[in-house]
């Protein structure tokens, strides 16, 4: 992932300069989540990181956010497939910072197999991480947002929250469910300055996707660039990957005062995938 720009956008999360917003971003130690964490930190938000990875690398990310953007950043290690640990994530954030203003549910996982061959264990795991974890973070963060009269909840769904693909039953079901949860939360908080939206990316060039491209290239004995184009051409008419920075910029906008009337909707960053 390219290094984030230090230049701040004009769409800043609504907050007094003396009171920086506090943002929890799940799955933020790499890929899309890290892009979002960087984008929010660049706007002056304190950051609560969560995700897997090498402990030294995670500490480097955490300290890097603080050094680069002059904000506070903490890391909370928790297994998002376990409700009690998901609740702990929000509780620790509130204990350390006093509140959670912005919640970005980004963490997710994938498993591919036809329905009749799909592992029941994998089904439960994907539903837990991709959908139930978002319910539990929202469940814990909402009361404080309602008490303070401000909140921004952004669920990173997928193009697969709007359309389907073969062999991805759990992923598609979980992302469709996440879009539905987004709408319900938005409606229940429509009269408050609390919004809930879903971002639906198509192919994004993350380390996991790059690994998939490299594997396909080796398997088919073709150049990596050809494997990349082949992957994109199946779904994404632009033949260009979206980037974590682009998604981060949209998150920043959705957290701003200018976006306070945008709620309960899905916003696609998919190069035309779902326009077909």
- Return the pLDDT at 14: 53
The tens digit of pLDDT for each residue in 84-143 reads 999 999 999 999 999 999 999 999 999 999 999 999 999 999 999 999 999 999 999 999
Average pLDDT over residues 138-160: 98
Distance of CA 209 to CAs 11, 148, 251, Å? 29, 39, 21
Helix or strand run (H / E) with residue 83: helix 83-97
Average pLDDT over residues 189-198: 98
Average pLDDT over residues 12-26: 76
The tens digit of pLDDT for each residue in 205-251 reads 988 789 889 999 999 999 999 999 999 999 999 999 999 999 999 99
| Of 77 and 2, more confident | 77
- Return the pLDDT at 2: 42
- Return the pLDDT at 3: 44
Domains within the chain, CATH numbers bracketed: 22-204+242-270 (3.40.50.720), 205-238 (no CATH)
Which residues carry out catalysis? 171
175/127 Cα distance (integer angstroms): 9
Query: Quick check: helix, strand or coil at residue 103?
Result: strand
185 in Cβ contact with 138 (< 8 Å): yes
160 in Cβ contact with 201 (< 8 Å): no
Backbone angles phi, psi at 202, to 5 degrees: -90, -135
pTM across the whole model: 0.92
- Return the pLDDT at 13: 57
Residue 17 above 90 pLDDT?
Answer: no
Residue 253 above 60 pLDDT?
Answer: yes
Burial class (CB in 10 A: 0-12, 13-18, 19+), 57: exposed
Residue 6 above 50 pLDDT?
Answer: no
| Of 16 and 164, more confident | 164
The count of other CB atoms within 10 Å of the CB of residue 252 is 23
pLDDT > 90 fraction of the chain, expressed in percent and rounded: 90
Query: Quick check: helix, strand or coil at residue 212?
Result: helix
Average pLDDT over residues 185-203: 98
Helix or strand run (H / E) with residue 60: helix 55-69
């Amino acid at each position: 992932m390219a290094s984030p720009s230090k230049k701040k956008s004009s769409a800043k999360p609504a907050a007094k300069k003396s009171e920086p917003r506090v943002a929890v971003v799940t799955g933020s130690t790499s890929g899309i989540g890290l892009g979002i964490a960087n984008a929010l930190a660049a706007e002056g938000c304190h950051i609560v990181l969560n995700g897997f990875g090498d402990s030294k690398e995670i500490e480097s990310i955490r300290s890097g956010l603080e050094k680069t953007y002059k904000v506070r950043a903490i890391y909370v290690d928790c297994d998002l497939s376990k409700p009690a640990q998901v609740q702990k994530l929000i509780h620790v954030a509130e204990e350390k910072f006093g509140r959670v203003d912005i919640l970005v549910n980004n963490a997710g996982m994938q498993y591919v197999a036809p329905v009749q061959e799909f592992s029941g264990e994998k089904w439960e795991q994907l539903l837990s991480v991709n959908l139930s974890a978002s319910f539990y973070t929202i469940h814990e963060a909402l009361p404080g947002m309602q008490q303070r009269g401000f909140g921004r909840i952004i669920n990173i769904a997928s193009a697969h929250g709007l359309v389907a693909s073969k062999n991805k039953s759990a992923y598609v079901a979980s992302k469709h469910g996440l879009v539905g949860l987004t709408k319900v939360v938005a409606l229940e908080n429509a009269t408050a300055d609390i919004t809930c939206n879903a971002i639906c990316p198509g192919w994004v060039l993350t380390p996991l996707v790059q690994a998939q491209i490299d594997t396909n290239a080796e398997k088919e004995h073709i150049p990596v660039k050809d494997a990349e184009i082949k992957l994109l051409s199946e779904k994404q008419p632009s033949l260009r990957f979206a980037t974590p920075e682009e998604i981060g910029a949209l998150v920043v906008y959705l957290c701003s005062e200018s976006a306070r009337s945008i709620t309960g909707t899905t916003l696609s960053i998919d190069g035309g995938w779902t326009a077909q």
